[in-house]
């Protein structure tokens, strides 16, 4: 089972708005993004792979909420597709203004606030405690 680092209630507290429809799905996808950003991070976990240090728990929840907030602000549904074009039409096909995003499928478009939360917690690659 995939790890999900934040709840709809935490998302609501983070944004100051009610959690959007499908918040659980958005939080699960954002948690995957956070996991991808933490590929080489080392921290203590329980048997389910969830962090045990309260500071790390908070940092991962904050980063996950920041990622969802970022995706909602950019019109993304968690798939990464929405932020690729300024405008898209289906018939008779019209795409315009391709935006730069991750350069490969394995890159993650991590929200700036999520990046800062992870960096402050010492979880990003290259940080040794």
DSSP code for 45: B
- Please state, as a whole number, how many other Cβ atoms lie within 10 Å of the Cβ of residue 105: 7
Residues of the chain with pLDDT under 50: 102-106, 127
Q: Structure pTM?
A: 0.76
How far apart CA 2 and CA 127 sit, in angstroms, is 25
pLDDT score for 92: 67
pLDDT score for 104: 41
Burial status of residue 49 (CB atoms within 10 A of its CB: 0-12, 13-18, 19 or more): exposed
pLDDT score for 8: 98
pLDDT score for 79: 59
pLDDT score for 103: 44
pLDDT score for 74: 84
């Amino acid at each position: 089972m995939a790890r999900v680092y934040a709840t709809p209630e935490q998302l609501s507290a983070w944004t100051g708005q009610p959690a959007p429809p499908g918040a659980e799905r958005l939080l699960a996808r954002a948690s995957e993004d956070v996991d991808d950003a933490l590929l080489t991070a080392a921290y203590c976990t329980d048997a389910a792979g969830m962090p045990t240090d309260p500071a790390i728990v908070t940092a991962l929840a904050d980063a996950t909420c920041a990622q969802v907030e970022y995706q909602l602000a950019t019109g993304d549904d968690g798939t990464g597709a929405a932020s690729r074009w300024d405008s898209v039409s289906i018939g008779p096909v019209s795409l315009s203004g391709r935006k730069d995003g991750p350069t490969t499928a394995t890159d993650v478009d991590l929200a700036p606030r999520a990046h800062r939360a992870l960096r402050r917690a010492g979880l990003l690659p290259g940080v040794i405690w």
